[in-house]
Homo-oligomer: A and B are copies of this chain.
Amino acid sequence: MTEQARGGAVSQTLSRGIRVLEILADAGEPLTIDGVAQALGVHRSIAYRLLRTLEHHGLVVRDANGRVTLGPRMAALAAGVAHDLQAEALPELTAVANELGMTCFLAVLDHDECVTLVSVEPRHAVAPVAQRPGTRHPVTAGAPGKAILSLLPPAQWPAASPDAARAVAEAAARGYATSHDEVIPSLRSVAVPLAVRGRGPAALAVVHVSGDADDARIAERLTRSARAVRDALGG
């Protein structure tokens, strides 16, 4: 009642519990119960009950000081996300990363964001570029996002700048997308779309710092791996 009447009623308790998980994930460090309560904007006793429930299921753990963090069970739960896609893609990511000497990763579409699921750094990296799993940014920014959008009809593109729309159209035409300094300055990336039957649109991508890399050659290599993954999953 005091809350919004959004689209359909959502469960207040469950919603708050999820927000606790988000708060803990964003914090990245152990929080006190009070800290969680303040971040949630609720009374301590509420946060206490929510945390006890989450702890009961193993999603949060407490250190010696009583502070709370996300627990390993959380990772175990999420490991099942697109597990077949990840399983098929991982060897390909490793191969590409080592052949090109660049960090290679798999990203998928999540509403209007591009989420990195798994990432592999090359064996011998001159300048190791980390692309942490869980990284999110708007689909309209960066090579992976544009590669993903190139799989969708323009009608489903989120509101984007004309420039971004043109870049996506171009990516769709030539089969791969690039980005220079878009997300992180001095980093370039190349991405190819990856469409698997049933599953949402995805992309294989690499990031690198070298200014004289051959984007087309990289894209060709990525496309080979994308095809291999798609074929393995019968897409």
Residues of A within 8 A of B (CB): 6-11, 13-19, 21-22, 24-26, 28, 49-50, 52-54, 56-59, 61, 63, 70-83, 87, 90-91, 94-95, 98, 108-111, 115, 117, 120-121, 123, 128, 130, 132-136, 198, 200
Check A18–B72 contact: CB distance below 8 A.
no
- List B contacts of A17 (CB < 8 A): 11, 14, 17-18
Check A70–B80 contact: CB distance below 8 A.
yes
Check A78–B18 contact: CB distance below 8 A.
no
Copies of this protein in the assembly total 2
Check B13–A13 contact: CB distance below 8 A.
yes
Check B53–A15 contact: CB distance below 8 A.
yes
Check A117–B22 contact: CB distance below 8 A.
no
Given known pairs A50-B11, A53-B15, A57-B15, the reply for A133 and B79 (CB within 8 Å) is yes
A81 to B29, CA, bound (A): 10
A75 to B118, CA, bound (A): 9
Check B80–A28 contact: CB distance below 8 A.
yes
A56 to B6, CA, bound (A): 10
User: Which one of B54, B136, B200 lies within 8 Å of A14 (CB-CB)?
Assistant: B54
